[in-house]
Amino acid sequence: MKPVPLTRRRIAPWRKGVQWLVTLLILGLPFIRPGGESLLRLDAGSRTLLFFGAKLRIEEFYLLLIVVLILVFAFLFVTMLFGRVWCGWLCPQTTLADLADWIERRTRNLPAPLRAALRQSSFLALSALVGANLVWYFVAPPEFLARLAAGQLGAVAGISLAATALVVYLDLAFVRRRFCKSVCPYGRIQLMTMERGTLTLEFDPELKGVCLRCGACVKACPTGIDIRDGLQIECINCGRCLDACRDVFAKRGTGGLIHYTFGPVGADGSRPVNRKALLLGGVLLLLVALLVVGVTTRREATLKVQRAGSGEVKRLPDGSLVNFYSAFLENRGGGARSFSLQAAPLAGYRVELVGPVRGITLEANANRKIGFALKLNAAPPPGTQVELRLVSEGKVVAASPLPVALQ
């Protein structure tokens, strides 16, 4: 009979540490505000995604698309390499269910009315916190708290807060692990993507004769499965059965029969390489590189121009030609800046801009429409274009052509 390896280290402290770290990160990200803006937030009012110092407007859809692709490929990469480690170690649903279980254990010996009151009030408080945390990713926490205190949270934010809190409360009070076992599609996706080299939690079949049939692993499992029956879709890779088995065998001076593994060991002692996960990892790195390049090379300001709505063209007594335009300016920088509009020289003609084209101050992430006129002396030939430049601190930050109409 194969000897049982001596392994006594428990997984639970590591799992709880990861859960606390992820929870604090999710709760704290909206409060981390370098430069006065959240690290991660979708500002619906300005249609801007605040993404770790970068401000991506809806017009920059290609960058938003890259962000979405990064999330998708990261999901597939983690699933294919580490299996359901997300479910057991990182998922907020698991963390909330663990908190609910802890609350029930702590109140188990209290009188029934007090026990019920403490449990339900705790579930309501957790639900409200989760709902508020979701809204913080759309409304900055200081603004959220001020609006909430003044009773002016707004219909969309208020309904989102109430609906999320209600769903989370029902989950904590009635659902919990049932969601993982029967509703959550992640386990089905994991079974479709896993390979021989995917990390799994398994009972060593070669040590089956050593098993004491104590049932400790089944009692410890939050989803109620028996790890000895092999890989099952309900397993969330949390490692509770591993700890339970090690605790039992530690009294005998030996290790447990359950362990994490990246596939079976080959004849030469090696393990299978998860080639698909490596490929996905390469694609993920490429997407991250593209996002970094896209964010670092994006323009700090934009300029778009169109003819004025009337399309009017004027000819002055001195022979000058006047065209009317509307310019749309956007400051994509992290602070307020002053801009000016300037027309590039046109050989043989005197070019002049008429209107509020100097000292245009824009706050960070703000935009403005400016109406102005282009005056040319004398009238140019058909097809002439003049370059309009957006200048800040003596540097041209954007430019756009102005087609000149003769009539």
> Within its chain, how far is the Cα of 52 from the centroid?
10
Nearest Cα residue to 143 out of 23, 38, 47, 28: 38
Nearest Cα residue to 172 out of 134, 218, 124, 219: 124
Using CA atoms, how far residue 141 sits from 191, 347, 393, in Å, is: 39, 55, 34
Share of the chain above pLDDT 90, in %: 41
Residue 71: pLDDT band with limits 50, 70, 90: confident
Q: Are strands 360-362 and 337-343 parallel, antiparallel or unpaired?
A: antiparallel
Q: Are strands 350-354 and 321-331 parallel, antiparallel or unpaired?
A: unpaired
CB 353 within 8 A of CB 360: no
- Alpha-carbon dihedral angle through residues 70, 72, 75, 76, given to the nearest 10 degrees: -110
Residue 171: pLDDT band with limits 50, 70, 90: very high
Could you give the CA distance from residue 45 to residue 22 in angstroms, rounded to a whole number?
28
CB 405 within 8 A of CB 314: no
Neighbours of 88 (CB within 10 A): 23
What DSSP element (H or E) covers 323? Answer: strand 321-331
What DSSP element (H or E) covers 97? Answer: helix 92-106
Q: In this predicted model, what pLDDT tens digit does every residue of 327-377 receive, in sequence order?
A: 999 887 767 889 999 999 888 888 999 999 999 998 877 888 999 999 988
Task: Spell out a b/e string for 183-218, using b for 16 or more CB atoms within 10 Å of the CB, else e.
Answer: eeebbeebeebbbebbbbbbbbeebeebbeeeebbe
pLDDT on residue 347: 85
Q: In this predicted model, what pLDDT tens digit does every residue of 255-275 receive, in sequence order?
A: 889 988 887 766 565 666 777
Place of tokens 């009539």: 407
Q: In this predicted model, what pLDDT tens digit does every residue of 75-95 receive, in sequence order?
A: 888 888 888 888 899 899 999
pLDDT mean across residues, the chain: 86
In terms of Cβ atoms closer than 10 Å to its own Cβ (0-12, 13-18, 19+), residue 3 is exposed
The yes/no answer on whether domain 301-403 falls in CATH 3.40.50.2300 is: no
Mean pLDDT of all residues in 222-240: 89
Could you give the CA distance from residue 107 to residue 128 in angstroms, rounded to a whole number?
21
Residue ranges covered by each domain of the chain: 1-31+83-263, 301-403
pLDDT on residue 50: 77
Q: Is the bond preceding 150 in cis, omega lying within 30 degrees of 0? A: no
pLDDT on residue 107: 95
Res 235 pLDDT > 80:
yes
